Structure 1
Amino acid sequence: MAVIKVNSGDVDLLARLIRAEAEAEGELGMLMVGNVGVNRILSNCLDFKNIRSMRDMVFQSPGGYEAVQKSYFYQRARDRERRLARRTINGERTHPASNALWFFRPAGNCPPTWYNQSNSGRYKAHCFFIPSRQDCPRVF
Protein backbone atom coordinates (compact mmCIF):
# COMPACT_ATOMS: atom_id res chain seq x y z
CA MET A 1 0.00 0.00 0.00
CA ALA A 2 1.32 3.43 -0.95
CA VAL A 3 2.72 5.64 1.81
CA ILE A 4 2.05 8.75 -0.31
CA LYS A 5 -0.82 9.53 -2.67
CA VAL A 6 0.25 9.23 -6.32
CA ASN A 7 -1.08 8.72 -9.81
CA SER A 8 0.64 7.18 -12.84
CA GLY A 9 2.14 10.54 -13.82
CA ASP A 10 3.73 10.80 -10.36
CA VAL A 11 5.22 7.31 -10.72
CA ASP A 12 6.72 8.33 -14.08
CA LEU A 13 8.06 11.56 -12.58
CA LEU A 14 9.80 9.72 -9.75
CA ALA A 15 11.06 7.08 -12.19
CA ARG A 16 12.65 9.77 -14.35
CA LEU A 17 14.17 11.45 -11.29
CA ILE A 18 15.76 8.31 -9.85
CA ARG A 19 17.23 7.38 -13.22
CA ALA A 20 18.63 10.87 -13.83
CA GLU A 21 20.07 11.18 -10.33
CA ALA A 22 21.45 7.69 -9.78
CA GLU A 23 21.41 5.39 -12.81
CA ALA A 24 25.16 4.84 -12.41
CA GLU A 25 24.51 3.62 -8.86
CA GLY A 26 22.38 0.71 -10.07
CA GLU A 27 18.99 -0.37 -8.79
CA LEU A 28 19.89 -0.06 -5.12
CA GLY A 29 21.21 3.47 -5.61
CA MET A 30 18.08 4.45 -7.51
CA LEU A 31 15.90 2.99 -4.72
CA MET A 32 17.79 5.16 -2.24
CA VAL A 33 17.16 8.31 -4.28
CA GLY A 34 13.49 7.30 -4.34
CA ASN A 35 13.58 6.93 -0.54
CA VAL A 36 14.84 10.49 -0.19
CA GLY A 37 12.10 11.79 -2.47
CA VAL A 38 9.31 9.97 -0.67
CA ASN A 39 10.74 11.05 2.69
CA ARG A 40 10.66 14.68 1.56
CA ILE A 41 6.94 14.40 0.80
CA LEU A 42 6.22 12.65 4.11
CA SER A 43 8.37 14.87 6.31
CA ASN A 44 6.71 18.33 6.31
CA CYS A 45 9.72 19.69 8.19
CA LEU A 46 12.84 21.84 7.74
CA ASP A 47 13.46 22.53 4.03
CA PHE A 48 10.45 20.45 3.04
CA LYS A 49 7.50 22.14 4.74
CA ASN A 50 4.52 22.24 2.41
CA ILE A 51 6.07 19.75 -0.04
CA ARG A 52 2.91 17.67 -0.40
CA SER A 53 3.11 16.17 -3.89
CA MET A 54 5.55 14.45 -6.21
CA ARG A 55 5.65 17.53 -8.44
CA ASP A 56 6.35 19.80 -5.43
CA MET A 57 9.20 17.54 -4.39
CA VAL A 58 10.82 17.01 -7.79
CA PHE A 59 10.69 20.67 -8.84
CA GLN A 60 11.33 22.28 -5.45
CA SER A 61 13.31 25.49 -5.84
CA PRO A 62 15.54 26.29 -4.16
CA GLY A 63 16.70 23.03 -2.68
CA GLY A 64 15.56 20.63 -5.36
CA TYR A 65 17.38 18.29 -7.68
CA GLU A 66 20.05 19.15 -10.24
CA ALA A 67 18.73 16.46 -12.57
CA VAL A 68 15.69 18.52 -13.56
CA GLN A 69 18.05 20.95 -15.28
CA LYS A 70 19.43 18.24 -17.59
CA SER A 71 17.83 16.92 -20.77
CA TYR A 72 18.29 13.31 -19.60
CA PHE A 73 15.61 13.87 -16.93
CA TYR A 74 13.05 14.72 -19.61
CA GLN A 75 13.29 11.41 -21.44
CA ARG A 76 10.39 8.97 -21.07
CA ALA A 77 10.18 6.81 -17.95
CA ARG A 78 11.20 3.20 -18.45
CA ASP A 79 9.60 0.10 -16.91
CA ARG A 80 12.65 -0.72 -14.77
CA GLU A 81 12.62 2.68 -13.07
CA ARG A 82 8.82 2.66 -12.76
CA ARG A 83 9.07 -0.60 -10.79
CA LEU A 84 11.72 0.93 -8.52
CA ALA A 85 9.64 4.08 -8.05
CA ARG A 86 6.59 2.01 -7.04
CA ARG A 87 8.69 0.10 -4.51
CA THR A 88 9.68 3.32 -2.73
CA ILE A 89 6.16 4.76 -3.01
CA ASN A 90 4.91 1.55 -1.37
CA GLY A 91 7.22 2.14 1.58
CA GLU A 92 10.32 0.07 0.82
CA ARG A 93 13.25 1.69 2.60
CA THR A 94 16.92 1.02 2.03
CA HIS A 95 19.73 1.97 4.41
CA PRO A 96 21.46 4.45 4.47
CA ALA A 97 18.60 6.36 2.81
CA SER A 98 15.81 4.92 4.98
CA ASN A 99 15.29 8.18 6.88
CA ALA A 100 17.38 10.51 4.71
CA LEU A 101 16.18 13.83 3.35
CA TRP A 102 19.39 14.77 1.53
CA PHE A 103 22.16 13.21 -0.52
CA PHE A 104 25.05 14.47 -2.53
CA ARG A 105 28.10 13.23 -4.36
CA PRO A 106 31.32 14.55 -2.80
CA ALA A 107 34.69 14.55 -4.49
CA GLY A 108 36.16 12.62 -1.55
CA ASN A 109 34.94 11.19 1.74
CA CYS A 110 31.50 11.87 3.15
CA PRO A 111 31.58 14.58 5.80
CA PRO A 112 30.14 13.62 9.21
CA THR A 113 27.53 16.38 8.83
CA TRP A 114 26.19 18.44 5.96
CA TYR A 115 24.33 21.66 6.75
CA ASN A 116 24.03 20.39 10.33
CA GLN A 117 22.43 17.09 9.25
CA SER A 118 24.01 13.77 10.27
CA ASN A 119 25.61 11.42 7.76
CA SER A 120 23.71 8.14 7.74
CA GLY A 121 26.13 6.44 5.34
CA ARG A 122 27.38 6.17 1.82
CA TYR A 123 26.35 4.04 -1.12
CA LYS A 124 28.81 4.10 -4.00
CA ALA A 125 29.24 7.80 -4.89
CA HIS A 126 26.37 9.25 -2.82
CA CYS A 127 26.42 10.29 0.83
CA PHE A 128 23.07 10.37 2.66
CA PHE A 129 22.05 12.69 5.48
CA ILE A 130 19.25 12.49 8.02
CA PRO A 131 17.52 15.04 10.21
CA SER A 132 17.11 14.56 13.92
CA ARG A 133 14.06 12.63 15.07
CA GLN A 134 13.06 15.72 17.03
CA ASP A 135 13.15 17.98 13.92
CA CYS A 136 11.42 15.53 11.56
CA PRO A 137 9.52 12.79 13.43
CA ARG A 138 7.44 11.80 10.37
CA VAL A 139 10.57 10.51 8.59
CA PHE A 140 11.21 7.92 11.31
Structure 2
Amino acid sequence: MAFSYRELLARIIKCEAGGEGENGMKAVATTIMNRVRVPYGEYQRIGQGDLRKVLYQKGQFDCMRTELGGAPNPQNIWSTVPEEIHYDIADWALAGNRLFTAGYSLWYFNPFAPCPWTFPYTGTGSFQVKVGNHCFYNPTELYAKT
Protein backbone atom coordinates (compact mmCIF):
# COMPACT_ATOMS: atom_id res chain seq x y z
CA MET A 1 0.00 0.00 0.00
CA ALA A 2 1.38 3.39 -0.99
CA PHE A 3 1.84 6.15 1.56
CA SER A 4 -0.70 8.98 1.48
CA TYR A 5 0.63 12.42 0.50
CA ARG A 6 0.52 13.42 4.17
CA GLU A 7 2.47 10.37 5.28
CA LEU A 8 4.97 10.66 2.45
CA LEU A 9 5.62 14.35 3.15
CA ALA A 10 5.92 13.79 6.91
CA ARG A 11 8.46 11.01 6.33
CA ILE A 12 10.61 13.02 3.94
CA ILE A 13 10.50 16.05 6.27
CA LYS A 14 11.83 13.93 9.13
CA CYS A 15 14.39 12.15 6.99
CA GLU A 16 15.73 15.21 5.15
CA ALA A 17 15.51 17.80 7.96
CA GLY A 18 14.58 16.09 11.24
CA GLY A 19 17.57 17.60 13.04
CA GLU A 20 17.14 21.13 11.65
CA GLY A 21 14.50 22.44 14.05
CA GLU A 22 10.99 23.61 13.14
CA ASN A 23 12.09 26.35 10.72
CA GLY A 24 14.51 24.00 8.99
CA MET A 25 11.79 21.40 8.53
CA LYS A 26 9.34 24.05 7.29
CA ALA A 27 11.94 25.33 4.81
CA VAL A 28 12.41 21.83 3.40
CA ALA A 29 8.64 21.30 3.22
CA THR A 30 8.29 24.68 1.49
CA THR A 31 10.90 23.74 -1.10
CA ILE A 32 9.29 20.38 -1.82
CA MET A 33 5.85 21.94 -2.21
CA ASN A 34 7.35 24.72 -4.38
CA ARG A 35 8.44 21.96 -6.76
CA VAL A 36 4.90 20.58 -6.76
CA ARG A 37 3.36 24.00 -7.46
CA VAL A 38 5.89 25.63 -9.82
CA PRO A 39 4.01 26.49 -13.05
CA TYR A 40 6.97 26.11 -15.43
CA GLY A 41 10.28 24.33 -16.01
CA GLU A 42 11.54 20.85 -15.23
CA TYR A 43 9.55 20.24 -12.06
CA GLN A 44 6.26 21.23 -13.67
CA ARG A 45 7.01 19.13 -16.74
CA ILE A 46 8.07 16.04 -14.76
CA GLY A 47 6.03 16.42 -11.56
CA GLN A 48 2.84 17.80 -13.14
CA GLY A 49 1.69 19.00 -9.72
CA ASP A 50 1.96 15.52 -8.18
CA LEU A 51 3.91 15.25 -4.92
CA ARG A 52 4.67 11.59 -5.53
CA LYS A 53 6.21 12.31 -8.96
CA VAL A 54 8.27 15.16 -7.52
CA LEU A 55 9.67 13.02 -4.70
CA TYR A 56 10.34 9.96 -6.84
CA GLN A 57 12.11 11.91 -9.61
CA LYS A 58 15.41 10.12 -10.03
CA GLY A 59 18.40 11.61 -8.23
CA GLN A 60 16.55 14.32 -6.31
CA PHE A 61 16.29 13.20 -2.67
CA ASP A 62 18.72 10.84 -0.93
CA CYS A 63 15.97 9.83 1.50
CA MET A 64 13.99 8.36 -1.42
CA ARG A 65 16.76 5.83 -2.11
CA THR A 66 17.35 2.52 -0.38
CA GLU A 67 20.90 2.49 -1.76
CA LEU A 68 23.53 5.23 -2.08
CA GLY A 69 26.81 4.69 -3.89
CA GLY A 70 26.23 0.95 -4.02
CA ALA A 71 25.73 0.62 -0.25
CA PRO A 72 22.48 0.34 1.72
CA ASN A 73 21.05 3.71 2.77
CA PRO A 74 19.81 3.35 6.37
CA GLN A 75 18.34 6.87 6.35
CA ASN A 76 15.34 6.61 4.03
CA ILE A 77 11.62 7.27 4.23
CA TRP A 78 10.80 3.60 4.79
CA SER A 79 12.94 3.33 7.92
CA THR A 80 12.10 6.80 9.24
CA VAL A 81 8.96 6.95 11.35
CA PRO A 82 7.53 10.48 11.65
CA GLU A 83 6.46 12.09 14.91
CA GLU A 84 3.59 14.52 15.50
CA ILE A 85 5.70 17.58 14.59
CA HIS A 86 6.43 16.09 11.15
CA TYR A 87 2.72 15.48 10.50
CA ASP A 88 1.92 19.01 11.70
CA ILE A 89 4.46 20.52 9.29
CA ALA A 90 3.24 18.27 6.45
CA ASP A 91 -0.34 19.46 7.09
CA TRP A 92 0.89 23.07 7.20
CA ALA A 93 2.70 22.70 3.85
CA LEU A 94 -0.11 20.76 2.15
CA ALA A 95 -2.51 23.56 3.18
CA GLY A 96 -0.50 25.97 1.02
CA ASN A 97 1.67 27.64 3.64
CA ARG A 98 5.30 28.49 2.96
CA LEU A 99 8.17 29.69 5.10
CA PHE A 100 8.78 33.27 4.00
CA THR A 101 12.57 33.08 4.24
CA ALA A 102 12.70 30.04 1.93
CA GLY A 103 10.81 32.07 -0.68
CA TYR A 104 10.25 30.16 -3.89
CA SER A 105 13.24 27.88 -3.42
CA LEU A 106 13.32 24.77 -5.57
CA TRP A 107 16.57 23.34 -4.20
CA TYR A 108 18.31 22.85 -0.90
CA PHE A 109 21.33 20.97 0.30
CA ASN A 110 23.79 20.81 3.16
CA PRO A 111 27.20 21.70 1.73
CA PHE A 112 29.07 21.12 5.02
CA ALA A 113 30.76 24.43 4.07
CA PRO A 114 29.68 27.98 3.23
CA CYS A 115 26.77 28.14 0.78
CA PRO A 116 27.79 28.55 -2.85
CA TRP A 117 26.02 31.38 -4.70
CA THR A 118 24.58 29.11 -7.39
CA PHE A 119 23.17 25.62 -7.26
CA PRO A 120 22.76 23.23 -8.97
CA TYR A 121 25.85 23.24 -11.16
CA THR A 122 23.69 24.23 -14.17
CA GLY A 123 23.23 27.71 -12.69
CA THR A 124 19.45 27.38 -12.50
CA GLY A 125 19.32 28.40 -8.83
CA SER A 126 20.64 31.39 -6.90
CA PHE A 127 21.24 31.51 -3.15
CA GLN A 128 18.23 32.63 -1.12
CA VAL A 129 18.94 31.81 2.54
CA LYS A 130 20.62 29.41 4.92
CA VAL A 131 18.31 27.78 7.46
CA GLY A 132 20.05 25.52 9.94
CA ASN A 133 22.67 23.62 7.96
CA HIS A 134 20.81 23.77 4.65
CA CYS A 135 21.28 26.30 1.86
CA PHE A 136 18.16 27.20 -0.17
CA TYR A 137 18.07 28.35 -3.79
CA ASN A 138 15.46 30.23 -5.83
CA PRO A 139 15.12 29.56 -9.56
CA THR A 140 16.95 31.86 -11.99
CA GLU A 141 15.66 32.82 -15.45
CA LEU A 142 17.69 29.90 -16.78
CA TYR A 143 15.46 27.45 -14.83
CA ALA A 144 12.44 28.44 -16.92
CA LYS A 145 14.20 26.93 -19.95
CA THR A 146 14.65 23.51 -18.34
Q: What range is the shorter-chain TM-score in?
A: 0.7 to 0.9
Q: Structure 2: which 5+ runs fail to align? A: 66-72
Does 1:96 find its partner at 2:101? yes
Equivalent in the alignment of 1:50: 46
Shift of 1:77: 3.2
Find the counterpart in structure 2 of residue 41 from structure 1.
Answer: 36
User: SS in structure 2 opposite 1:108?
Assistant: coil
Q: Distance in 2 between matches of 1:87 and 1:23?
A: 16
| Structure 1 unaligned residues grouped into runs of 5+ | 1-7
* Structure 2 CA distance for aligned equivalents of residues 98 and 89 of structure 1: 16
- Measured in 1, the distance between the counterparts of 2:62 and 2:142 equals 28
Corresponding residue number in structure 2 for 1:132 = 140
* CA RMSD across the alignment: 2.0
2:13 aligned partner: 18
The farther-off stretch of 27-36 and 76-85 is 76-85
- Report the Cα distance in structure 1 between the residues aligned to 2:103 and 2:142, rounded to whole angstroms: 16
Overall identity of the aligned pairs, in %: 27
Cα gap change, 1:61 to 1:134, in 2 (>3 Å)? closer
Deviation at 1:37, TM superposition (A): 0.8
Bigger radius of gyration among the two: 2
Aligned to 2:56: 59
